[in-house]
Amino acid sequence: MSIKNCPKCGSSRTKKNGTFRGTQRYRCRSCGVQFVHDTSVSAETLWREFADEHARVSVLARRHHISKSTVHRRLDDCTLPEILPTP
């Protein structure tokens, strides 16, 4: 089966959280981050390149053969600020 690990904390405690623009969306129950399961390039990869290489969105888009808006969406998906309930 396709259990997706969290791209941020690596936890496998994720659950499906509906779909977003036709892509399955997941939510991590450990850190609360939302992410999408993607076949081409993961938000994690984009984030790494974005952060480590300071790559521009246009560069990432060209590199992964996706549109700039897709890059933006992926990055947004990965960093949606989550208000976690205080324990």
Q: Which lies closer to Zn ion via its Cβ, residue 15 or residue 56? A: 15
C-alpha–C-alpha distance, residues 32 and 14, integer Å: 9
One of 8, 64, 68, 73 touching Zn ion (CB under 5 A)? 8
Q: Is 74 in contact with 38 (CB distance < 8 Å)?
A: yes
- Closest approach, Cβ 22 to Zn ion, in A, equals 23
Residue linked to tokens 């690596």: 10
Binding mask 34-63 for Zn ion (x = CB under 5 A): ------------------------------
Structure tokens, 3: 């259990």
- Contact with Zn ion (CB under 5 A) among 17, 23, 24, 31: 31
Number of C-beta neighbours around residue 71 at 10 A: 25
Interaction site with Zn ion (CB under 5 A): 6, 8-9, 11, 28, 30-31
